[in-house]
Chain A
Amino acid sequence: MAKFEYAPAPESRAVVDLKPSYGLFINGEFTDSEGGSAFKSISPATEEVLAEVTEASPADVDRAVAAARRAFNGPWGRMSGADRGKYLFRIARILQERAREFAVLESLDNGKPIRESRDVDVPLAAAHFFYHAGWADKLEYAGLGAGARPHGVVGQVIPWNFPLLMLAWKIAPALATGNTVVIKPAETTPLSALLFAEVLQQADLPPGVVNIVTGAGPTGQAIVDHPDIDKLAFTGSTGVGKMIARSIAGTRKKATLELGGKAANIIFDDAPIDQAVEGIVNGIFFNQGHVCCAGSRLLVQESIADEVEKRLKRRLATLRVGDPLDKNTDVGAINSKAQLSRITELTDAGEAEGAERWDNGCPLPDKGFWFRPTVFTGVSQTHRIAQEEIFGPVLSVLTFRTPHEAVAKANNTPYGLSAGIWTEKGSRILWMADQLRAGVVWANTFNKFDPTSPFGGYKESGYGREGGKHGLAAYVTTESTR
């Protein structure tokens, strides 16, 4: 029987009303830069310019920090937890009401499929505000330690892979605990943060409580180095995380870092293979593999390796790569030209080092940045594609014979963010979960997130947790940690 073709099912862009250019959101209003320049945010799927945004200068960062300090010393610092919570509830509600607008904008600016921005990014962002709203007047029950109180002004720098969701992970706990914020979205995905500024205005959040400064590395560095920032929260690469840790060495600034990963997704021979294959696909091809906790190393037990490989490739052949706004799209655009080059370089290295390369051969659009879902087999532990974070839709397949070997291989990385286990044997799941040096272990599932569930890494995947009461701890000082 002939296959039915999918008809295009694009989500309408009409819901998004973009301005041609955006200033910086400081002290509750959009302002022009002092000495900063402008840069363009493009759609990675079409290379079309979406809007012009401002590259904040150190003077702009200084203004933002001053506004945040005034708000901390003023209305926000004096406000009851109950009222802080009510602002967060308002923000959560507005996010839900404007969910479609945010989802379309996020897919436009980031390149991720609308199915994911609609069903994952935006609902989870709203959920984070709801969850933390409830904490704001209950902090004394969170077990944070004697004399827990907010740091003051928090500087936050977030990545481009989940722009709005990472913003929510950062801002919600900071505000719930009574801090004020200066946040910088990533330079390739600033637009949802700027739309979020409108949400803050709609919610009547007092001026200066959240300040949003757009820009690239130098703007981030200006935040990190600013003397009146008390605490930093960063999500991004391990390389930049180390730079931040060095920048604040010898100061009294606190930091939490959520960094890279090279997660092992481990498939035992008794796993339900079809479910495991779905888990593998979700693990590495979700969000084009632009996920710090992606299951980028598949460790499959030798006895079922051929069968898993066969079924995996059959499944990957059905993945639809293309227009992020099409509701049938499974894999969207690579976020930027720079990231595409990085993926291309590492996959070339994989071939050069002797791994066997396969991709699903699907057609790719002419314009924009694209990469076919790719699988490397015959990968050894020393290959760069088994060691370095690719941050793209590329899976490296290794095999193992015994649970001990699986553990040794899974832990053989400087990272320690996440891991996956697929087996029907409960005692093996629990034993493996104990042995894996990773902050999040998904057993018979993968890439699940929830505001109540602490997320963060071991080793060079960073320190501190986001989500749950553990995430609150990152935003307070206590008598013994001041």
Chain B
Amino acid sequence: MKVWAFIHPELGILCCTLLPEAVPEGVEYVELEVESPDDVVYENGQIRLKTEAEKLEEERQRKLVALRNYIASLLERTDYVVVRIAEAEINGDTDTAEQLKQKHAKQLQEREAIRQWNEQMKQAIRNAKTLEELRSLEIRYG
């Protein structure tokens, strides 16, 4: 698609219009052919298109954030187990802490497995060489 990129006269930020008539009157603009308006950047006083490497890195960061949020939601379900054990240990009640660890051994193992899977996923995301490869990585545990 075509965009018309310019620096907003009031806000001083990069803007891209999708219709030429939406460019404010009297403002200088650059006409660009893009895949997405997000492909345009303003750097060192220049309006330009993102490089493939920049797009790849952006998608990588987005994927890592999505993974982090997903892992947090998985661990959240058993956070109460860790909190109870930690409380017992803080109070010096090691017997109770041990009992809780045994009682919730399955949940604790599951948390460890989630963390290991998280590390594998992070590595896969960091190792991805292309956008297609990155996008094909499915963030789903189990």
Mutual binders A and B? no
A interface with B by C-beta (< 8 Å) = none
B interface with A by C-beta (< 8 Å) = none
